[in-house]
């Protein structure tokens, strides 16, 4: 994509990748805050803008650090009532097999009473970027340590397929991670279904643009995350 290529003001995708006209924004009980690393903004395969467009209760902020959760959200918020979606050094193999959304303690181990740990959470913070960029966001925002820590243990692989190679099976796009987390917290599987439909439409357009020679394969492979 060049500077002259028109971009959608909502999802920031070039017009040939935009699916905003097909999206019906969803209302969710739990909020979503996406903290995007500045170097992630120009990714054609990125999903942060699409996620914001698809969810009414979603805030997207680009940067490296914010003094508090409230400053990042732009409204009053208690980090103790929110959760941070970050696997860190926790091993996916050690997570409960019957859970796709897992609450962790400060050492990265799964808490015993998962239902209690997840009950009442008012929102989720997701880092948008590579593994190393997510680690940077984690350490640059000390207020995240006051929030509940969550990890994903998805049963299915990312819809990216061969379009983007990832170092870990559990790696998902920002949209897929948000869809899984919010659908489990709200108890509404239709949230995940709707978001994945939007994502699939965008990927179909991406593959079509590749076939037409309009864009080259991205195939980014991020290094595994260092110990948290």
Residue 43 has pLDDT above 50, yes or no: yes
Of 42-51, 61-70, 159-168, 173-182, which range is least confident? Answer: 159-168
Instruction: Report the C-alpha gap between 210 and 219 in whole angstroms.
Output: 12
Instruction: Report the C-alpha gap between 90 and 228 in whole angstroms.
Output: 8
Surface-to-core class of residue 6, CB atoms within 10 Å of its CB (0-12 exposed, 13-18 middle, 19+ buried): exposed
For residue 147, how many other CB atoms are within 10 A of its CB? 22
Instruction: Report the C-alpha gap between 25 and 7 in whole angstroms.
Output: 20
Residue 219 has pLDDT above 60, yes or no: no
Of 98-102, 134-138, 144-148, 224-228, which range is least confident? Answer: 224-228
In the chain, domain spans: 26-201
For residue 178, how many other CB atoms are within 10 A of its CB? 29
The three-state DSSP-derived secondary structure of 71-130 is HHHCCCCCHHHEEEECCCCCCHHHCCCCCCEEEECCCCCECCCHHHHHCCCCEEEEEECC
Beta strands in the chain (DSSP E): 31-36, 58-62, 82-85, 101-104, 123-128, 148-152
| pLDDT single digits (tens) 93-105 | 677 788 999 999 9
More confident of the two residues 66 and 88: 66
Q: Give the β-pairing of 82-85 and 148-152.
A: parallel
| pLDDT single digits (tens) 120-130 | 899 999 999 98
For residue 54, the number of C-alpha atoms closer than 13 Å in the C-beta half-sphere is: 28
| pLDDT single digits (tens) 146-165 | 999 999 989 888 999 888 77
Instruction: For residue 212, give every residue at least 6 positions away whose Cβ sits within 8 Å of its Cβ, in sequence order, or none.
Output: none
Instruction: Report the C-alpha gap between 155 and 132 in whole angstroms.
Output: 24
104 is written with which tokens?
């962790």
Q: What is the pLDDT of residue 166?
A: 65
More confident of the two residues 91 and 142: 142
For residue 27, how many other CB atoms are within 10 A of its CB? 9
Q: What is the pLDDT of residue 221?
A: 45
Q: What is the pLDDT of residue 103?
A: 93
């Amino acid at each position: 994509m060049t500077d002259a290529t028109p971009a959608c003001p909502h999802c920031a995708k070039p017009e040939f990748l935009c699916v905003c006209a097909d999206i019906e924004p969803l209302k969710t009980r739990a909020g979503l805050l996406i903290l995007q690393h500045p170097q992630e903004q120009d990714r054609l395969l990125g999903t942060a803008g699409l996620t914001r467009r698809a969810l009414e209760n979603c805030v997207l902020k680009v940067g490296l650090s914010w003094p508090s959760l409230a400053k990042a959200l732009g409204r009053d918020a208690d980090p103790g009532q929110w959760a941070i979606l970050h696997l860190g050094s926790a091993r996916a193999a050690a997570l409960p097999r019957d859970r796709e959304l897992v609450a962790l303690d400060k050492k990265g181990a799964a808490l015993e009473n998962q239902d209690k740990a997840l009950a009442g959470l008012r929102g989720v913070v997701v880092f948008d970027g590579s593994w190393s960029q997510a680690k940077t966001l984690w350490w640059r925002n000390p207020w995240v340590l006051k929030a509940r820590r969550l990890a994903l243990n998805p049963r299915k692989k990312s819809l990216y397929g061969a379009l983007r190679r990832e170092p870990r099976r559990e790696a998902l796009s920002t949209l897929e991670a948000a869809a899984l987390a919010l659908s489990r917290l709200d108890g509404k599987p239709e949230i995940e279904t709707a978001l994945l439909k939007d994502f699939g439409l965008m990927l179909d357009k991406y593959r079509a643009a590749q076939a037409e020679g309009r864009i080259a394969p991205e195939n980014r492979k991020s290094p595994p995350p260092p110990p948290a």
